[in-house]
Amino acid sequence: MRFSRRHGNMRSVRQWNERTPAVAEMLNPAFLSVIIGAAAIDYQKRATKPLPFPLAFLVAPLVLHRDTREQLPKRVDSHMSKWVMSHEVIAAGFGDRARVLVEPVREGIRFGLRTGALKLVDGDLAGNLANRRPAKIGDIALIHRKAAFVGRWLSQLDTPTTAFALLGVTP
């Protein structure tokens, strides 16, 4: 993901007191680490290897954006290329959503690594969620389930580069 620059410095994530309640809730590093952890666990179950690190940056924009989440395929064997072609409007805005989420996802990964919800295995991510039952508040449980699905779905691709190319973003 490319960064925009503001005043010569990399754009930083706003302080918590500057974030709206909805943003603070959905982009909470603990929540993002759980989302990435769920994807990593299910990716590893299907691929028998940890989630490639760059793919962690695709999970959040796929599951946090309601329209995208609702349009994800129902079956893990659905081809991402066909999905992108049949959901052009959603795919067209994916790059912007992914770029906005780079820093929050980094925060989530750092939080997950510090707390043990995620661990690095040869540079890739493995999930380590002791309690896989998310809170039944709002869309949290659904987002968690969709993140696990996305992990399985991404495991069908030959390389992480394929996912980035199909979604129109660069790692």
Alpha carbon distance 171, 165 (integer Å) = 9
More confident residue, 158 or 12: 158
Contact 63, 147 (CB under 8 A): yes
What is the chain's percent helix, strand, coil content, to nearest 5? 60, 10, 30
Distances, alpha carbon 146 to alpha carbons 2, 12, 138, 170, in Å: 26, 28, 14, 23
State the average pLDDT over residues 47-75: 95
**Average of per-residue pLDDT values in the chain:** 85
Contact 56, 36 (CB under 8 A): yes
Q: pLDDT band at residue 11, thresholds of 50, 70 and 90?
A: very low
Range of the domain at 111: 5-167
Q: Which residue has the tokens 């508040």?
A: 137
Q: How many domains does the chain have?
A: 1
